[in-house]
Amino acid sequence: MRILLIEDDPDLGPAIARALRAEQCAVDLFANGIDGGHAGATEAYDAAVLDLGLPAVDGVTVLREWRAAGRDLPVLILTAREAWSDKVAGFKAGADDYLVKPFRIEELLMRLRALVRRAAGHAASRLDCGPLAFEVQTGQFELDGLPLRLTALEWRVLSALMLRREAVIERLDLLEKVYEGDADTDSNSLEVIVGRLRKKIGAHLIETVRGRGYRLTAGGA
Protein backbone atom coordinates (compact mmCIF):
# COMPACT_ATOMS: atom_id res chain seq x y z
CA MET A 1 0.00 0.00 0.00
CA ARG A 2 1.10 3.54 -0.71
CA ILE A 3 -0.25 5.89 1.93
CA LEU A 4 -0.48 9.68 1.90
CA LEU A 5 0.01 10.99 5.45
CA ILE A 6 -0.72 14.66 6.17
CA GLU A 7 0.07 15.39 9.81
CA ASP A 8 1.75 18.52 11.18
CA ASP A 9 2.78 17.20 14.59
CA PRO A 10 6.61 16.96 14.35
CA ASP A 11 6.70 13.86 16.56
CA LEU A 12 3.49 12.06 15.63
CA GLY A 13 3.82 12.37 11.85
CA PRO A 14 7.25 10.68 11.58
CA ALA A 15 6.21 8.10 14.21
CA ILE A 16 3.16 7.08 12.17
CA ALA A 17 5.25 6.97 8.99
CA ARG A 18 7.83 4.69 10.63
CA ALA A 19 5.12 2.38 11.95
CA LEU A 20 3.43 2.12 8.57
CA ARG A 21 6.73 1.48 6.79
CA ALA A 22 7.45 -1.29 9.32
CA GLU A 23 4.25 -2.89 8.01
CA GLN A 24 5.53 -2.77 4.40
CA CYS A 25 3.65 0.41 3.40
CA ALA A 26 5.12 3.17 1.26
CA VAL A 27 4.45 6.51 2.95
CA ASP A 28 4.63 10.10 1.73
CA LEU A 29 4.51 12.47 4.72
CA PHE A 30 3.53 16.15 4.50
CA ALA A 31 3.18 18.63 7.34
CA ASN A 32 0.78 21.13 5.78
CA GLY A 33 -2.41 21.16 3.76
CA ILE A 34 -0.96 22.92 0.73
CA ASP A 35 1.77 20.40 -0.13
CA GLY A 36 -0.21 17.42 1.09
CA GLY A 37 -3.31 18.53 -0.75
CA HIS A 38 -1.36 18.88 -3.98
CA ALA A 39 0.12 15.40 -3.56
CA GLY A 40 -3.32 13.90 -3.01
CA ALA A 41 -4.65 15.67 -6.08
CA THR A 42 -1.85 14.56 -8.41
CA GLU A 43 -0.30 11.30 -7.13
CA ALA A 44 -1.63 7.74 -6.89
CA TYR A 45 -2.32 6.50 -3.36
CA ASP A 46 -4.21 3.58 -1.89
CA ALA A 47 -5.46 5.73 1.00
CA ALA A 48 -4.84 8.99 2.85
CA VAL A 49 -4.52 9.75 6.56
CA LEU A 50 -5.51 13.38 6.97
CA ASP A 51 -5.24 15.54 10.08
CA LEU A 52 -7.91 18.24 10.43
CA GLY A 53 -5.90 20.89 12.25
CA LEU A 54 -3.32 21.66 9.59
CA PRO A 55 -1.45 24.94 9.03
CA ALA A 56 -2.22 27.10 6.00
CA VAL A 57 -5.11 24.95 4.73
CA ASP A 58 -7.14 22.81 7.13
CA GLY A 59 -7.93 19.15 6.52
CA VAL A 60 -11.62 19.64 5.77
CA THR A 61 -10.79 22.12 3.03
CA VAL A 62 -8.19 19.74 1.56
CA LEU A 63 -10.71 16.91 1.53
CA ARG A 64 -13.45 19.04 -0.04
CA GLU A 65 -11.08 20.09 -2.81
CA TRP A 66 -10.13 16.46 -3.51
CA ARG A 67 -13.74 15.37 -3.74
CA ALA A 68 -14.73 18.37 -5.86
CA ALA A 69 -11.95 17.40 -8.28
CA GLY A 70 -13.22 13.82 -8.45
CA ARG A 71 -10.48 12.24 -6.31
CA ASP A 72 -12.00 9.14 -4.75
CA LEU A 73 -9.11 7.74 -2.72
CA PRO A 74 -10.19 6.44 0.72
CA VAL A 75 -9.56 9.04 3.42
CA LEU A 76 -9.21 8.46 7.15
CA ILE A 77 -9.52 11.62 9.23
CA LEU A 78 -7.06 11.72 12.13
CA THR A 79 -7.65 14.45 14.70
CA ALA A 80 -7.71 15.47 18.35
CA ARG A 81 -11.17 17.01 17.86
CA GLU A 82 -13.78 14.85 19.59
CA ALA A 83 -16.86 17.03 19.07
CA TRP A 84 -19.63 15.42 17.02
CA SER A 85 -19.85 18.54 14.86
CA ASP A 86 -16.23 18.08 13.79
CA LYS A 87 -16.92 14.47 12.84
CA VAL A 88 -19.97 15.51 10.85
CA ALA A 89 -17.93 18.16 9.02
CA GLY A 90 -15.31 15.56 8.14
CA PHE A 91 -17.83 13.04 6.83
CA LYS A 92 -19.75 15.70 4.91
CA ALA A 93 -16.50 16.72 3.24
CA GLY A 94 -16.05 13.13 2.05
CA ALA A 95 -14.17 11.23 4.77
CA ASP A 96 -14.47 7.45 4.83
CA ASP A 97 -13.41 6.90 8.43
CA TYR A 98 -12.51 8.88 11.54
CA LEU A 99 -9.96 8.19 14.29
CA VAL A 100 -9.52 10.38 17.37
CA LYS A 101 -6.13 10.99 18.99
CA PRO A 102 -4.67 9.36 21.02
CA PHE A 103 -4.95 6.04 19.21
CA ARG A 104 -3.16 2.74 18.77
CA ILE A 105 -1.14 2.39 15.59
CA GLU A 106 -2.53 -1.13 15.22
CA GLU A 107 -6.05 0.26 14.95
CA LEU A 108 -4.97 2.85 12.39
CA LEU A 109 -3.36 0.15 10.28
CA MET A 110 -6.39 -2.15 10.48
CA ARG A 111 -8.72 0.68 9.50
CA LEU A 112 -6.49 1.60 6.54
CA ARG A 113 -6.39 -1.98 5.33
CA ALA A 114 -10.16 -2.22 5.60
CA LEU A 115 -10.58 1.01 3.59
CA VAL A 116 -8.22 -0.22 0.86
CA ARG A 117 -9.93 -3.61 0.72
CA ARG A 118 -13.41 -2.12 0.40
CA ALA A 119 -12.21 0.42 -2.18
CA ALA A 120 -10.98 -2.52 -4.27
CA GLY A 121 -14.46 -4.05 -4.07
CA HIS A 122 -13.78 -6.88 -1.61
CA ALA A 123 -16.18 -7.63 1.24
CA ALA A 124 -14.18 -10.54 2.69
CA SER A 125 -10.84 -9.96 4.36
CA ARG A 126 -9.33 -13.15 2.91
CA LEU A 127 -8.52 -13.22 -0.80
CA ASP A 128 -7.52 -16.32 -2.74
CA CYS A 129 -5.88 -16.86 -6.12
CA GLY A 130 -5.03 -20.47 -6.80
CA PRO A 131 -2.55 -21.66 -4.14
CA LEU A 132 -2.01 -18.08 -2.95
CA ALA A 133 -4.01 -16.53 -0.09
CA PHE A 134 -3.91 -13.00 1.32
CA GLU A 135 -5.39 -12.02 4.68
CA VAL A 136 -5.84 -8.30 4.08
CA GLN A 137 -6.45 -7.28 7.69
CA THR A 138 -3.19 -8.79 8.91
CA GLY A 139 -1.20 -8.32 5.71
CA GLN A 140 -0.16 -11.99 5.70
CA PHE A 141 0.34 -14.05 2.54
CA GLU A 142 0.21 -17.85 2.39
CA LEU A 143 1.26 -20.21 -0.37
CA ASP A 144 -0.24 -23.69 -0.20
CA GLY A 145 -1.23 -22.96 3.39
CA LEU A 146 2.25 -21.93 4.52
CA PRO A 147 3.41 -18.39 5.42
CA LEU A 148 5.11 -16.59 2.53
CA ARG A 149 8.14 -14.46 3.33
CA LEU A 150 8.38 -11.30 1.24
CA THR A 151 10.47 -8.14 1.18
CA ALA A 152 8.65 -4.83 1.55
CA LEU A 153 8.77 -4.13 -2.19
CA GLU A 154 7.65 -7.66 -3.04
CA TRP A 155 4.75 -7.35 -0.59
CA ARG A 156 3.61 -4.05 -2.10
CA VAL A 157 3.63 -5.43 -5.64
CA LEU A 158 1.93 -8.70 -4.72
CA SER A 159 -0.73 -7.03 -2.56
CA ALA A 160 -1.55 -4.61 -5.39
CA LEU A 161 -1.88 -7.51 -7.82
CA MET A 162 -3.92 -9.54 -5.34
CA LEU A 163 -6.40 -6.76 -4.63
CA ARG A 164 -7.09 -6.61 -8.38
CA ARG A 165 -6.47 -10.26 -9.23
CA GLU A 166 -7.43 -11.35 -12.74
CA ALA A 167 -7.20 -7.71 -13.88
CA VAL A 168 -4.29 -6.19 -15.78
CA ILE A 169 -2.43 -3.53 -13.81
CA GLU A 170 -0.39 -1.07 -15.82
CA ARG A 171 3.35 -0.91 -15.07
CA LEU A 172 3.12 2.77 -14.14
CA ASP A 173 0.26 2.07 -11.72
CA LEU A 174 2.32 -0.61 -10.00
CA LEU A 175 5.36 1.63 -9.77
CA GLU A 176 3.26 4.38 -8.20
CA LYS A 177 1.87 1.96 -5.60
CA VAL A 178 5.27 0.51 -4.71
CA TYR A 179 7.62 3.48 -4.29
CA GLU A 180 7.49 6.62 -2.20
CA GLY A 181 7.36 9.97 -3.96
CA ASP A 182 11.07 10.79 -3.77
CA ALA A 183 12.28 7.36 -4.90
CA ASP A 184 14.26 7.00 -8.13
CA THR A 185 12.45 4.26 -10.05
CA ASP A 186 12.20 2.73 -13.50
CA SER A 187 10.39 -0.16 -15.13
CA ASN A 188 13.48 -2.39 -14.86
CA SER A 189 13.26 -2.31 -11.06
CA LEU A 190 9.65 -3.50 -11.28
CA GLU A 191 10.66 -6.35 -13.57
CA VAL A 192 13.26 -7.44 -11.02
CA ILE A 193 10.65 -7.51 -8.25
CA VAL A 194 8.18 -9.44 -10.42
CA GLY A 195 10.93 -11.89 -11.29
CA ARG A 196 11.65 -12.54 -7.61
CA LEU A 197 7.94 -13.01 -6.91
CA ARG A 198 7.63 -15.55 -9.72
CA LYS A 199 10.40 -17.61 -8.14
CA LYS A 200 8.60 -17.54 -4.78
CA ILE A 201 4.99 -18.20 -5.83
CA GLY A 202 5.29 -19.81 -9.27
CA ALA A 203 5.85 -18.11 -12.61
CA HIS A 204 2.43 -19.17 -13.94
CA LEU A 205 0.60 -17.01 -11.38
CA ILE A 206 1.91 -13.68 -12.69
CA GLU A 207 1.18 -13.08 -16.35
CA THR A 208 2.96 -10.43 -18.40
CA VAL A 209 0.55 -8.61 -20.70
CA ARG A 210 2.79 -7.24 -23.40
CA GLY A 211 2.78 -3.47 -23.74
CA ARG A 212 0.60 -3.02 -20.65
CA GLY A 213 1.60 -4.61 -17.39
CA TYR A 214 0.96 -7.62 -15.19
CA ARG A 215 -1.95 -9.78 -14.08
CA LEU A 216 -2.20 -12.15 -11.12
CA THR A 217 -4.20 -15.13 -12.27
CA ALA A 218 -5.06 -18.66 -11.15
CA GLY A 219 -5.94 -19.62 -14.71
CA GLY A 220 -2.54 -21.07 -15.50
CA ALA A 221 -2.34 -23.18 -12.37
Query: Which whole-number Å values give the CA distances from 176 to 79, 116, 164, in the listed order?
Result: 27, 15, 15
Write out pLDDT tens, residues 166-212.
999 999 888 888 888 766 666 578 899 999 999 999 999 999 999 89
Average pLDDT score over residue span 214-220? 85
Residue 133 DSSP code? E
Whole-number Å distance between alpha carbons of 62 and 103: 23
Write out pLDDT tens, residues 142-152.
999 999 999 99
Q: Cβ(50)–Cβ(66) under 8 Å?
A: no
Domains, the chain, ordered by start: 2-119 (3.40.50.2300), 126-216 (1.10.10.10)
Write out pLDDT tens, residues 66-88.
999 999 999 999 887 667 777 88
Q: What pLDDT, on a 0 to 100 scale, did the predictor assign at position 185?
A: 64
Span of 18-27, 126-135, 180-189, 190-199 with lowest mean pLDDT: 180-189
DSSP result, 182-209: T----HHHHHHHHHHHHHHH-GGGEEEE
